[in-house]
Structure 1
């Protein structure tokens, strides 16, 4: 069985390693340091899934995702970010993200978010749901 290919865009190396470790050996994770590198990586090899920070130097994760989804709308994108403002969460989802994980939730929820999104669903982490005013539910 082929390993799921994930591109992880994260500008902080320690956080990138942490997020990669949370996914374990279940996924082939390629790390890129910013939005520009994310766009370039997708041009070279279309992944099964993208996990991206939003606030990165140069091209933001949101801008990179917009650019990628214009050409490849089938690629599921999960944002993993410290940003937990309702307007940003809503914007990310409205622009095509299938998942939104606040980094403080990642330890408990990132792998589940990946599974849910790869199965065709959407995933919003517990902290993001809380700031949106959504009641907790099972994802």
Structure 2
């Protein structure tokens, strides 16, 4: 029996996924969490064979949770299950150690089969997204630029961002300027929107 953990912030979607997967003869959903920062603790407590993670969740993202699991519980396979079919997200997820990336529009039979393949050691990627990722430009932002741009999306002034991120005002300005230039944007708000649309944040 394959033991699965589901991390999804929308309770109805989480319950539906759990119900559908539990109907499979060889899959049992042993844990459900609604926040990214609950994933590692859930895996430690319930010891699933695979964690199915949404991307955008409270606490930390599914991609950051995948990276944490890759370090702290490498025996647990990770598959991203998301509505955000973006090439940038796929690349970041694979870099974080995920072995599967599928979209929620797929039939449950395909999801169950993907779970089986990932647990068996294969990598499963939505075919359309794999082709898109092959053609899409690579993420030009550094980790520092990504972190500052993501934090700046709420419109906070530079000094507030610097205090929150434990950086100097000058460093924050440099990161924002670089991110604006690399995304071909005029403002940091435009840069954040463009980077998020590409799956770079």
- Give 1:106 shift: 4.7
Q: Deviations over 1:68-118 (max 9, x none)?
A: 211222211000011111111111012210000111125352111101111
- 8 Å Cα contact 2:82-2:103 kept in structure 1: yes
Structure richer in strand, relative to its length: 1
1:17 corresponding residue in structure 2: 15
2:52 corresponding residue in structure 1: 51
2:88 corresponding residue in structure 1: 87
**TM-score (structure 2 length as normaliser):** 0.60
Please tell me whether residue 42 in structure 1 is matched to residue 46 in structure 2: no
**Larger relative CO (CA 8 A, sep 6+): 1 or 2?**
1
Structure having the higher Rg = 2
1:1-139 correspondence runs (5 A)? 3-23=1-21, 24-25=23-24, 26-29=26-29, 30-133=31-134
- Give 1:126 shift: 3.2
- 8 Å Cα contact 1:102-1:127 kept in structure 2: no
Which stretches in structure 2 are left out of the alignment for 5+ residues?
A: 136-201
Which stretches in structure 1 are left out of the alignment for 5+ residues?
A: 135-139
Secondary structure of 1:8's partner?
strand
Structure richer in helix, relative to its length: 2
Cα distance change of structure 1 residues 17 and 53 upon mapping to structure 2, 3 Å threshold:
same
Residues of 2 paired with 1:69 and 1:40: CA distance?
Answer: 13
Residues of 1 paired with 2:96 and 2:124: CA distance?
Answer: 15
Secondary structure of 1:105's partner?
coil
**TM-score (structure 1 length as normaliser):** 0.85
Number of matched pairs? 132
Range moving further from structure 2, 92-101 or 12-21:
12-21
- 8 Å Cα contact 1:10-1:56 kept in structure 2: yes
- Give 1:7 shift: 0.6
Residues of 2 paired with 1:19 and 1:49: CA distance?
Answer: 14
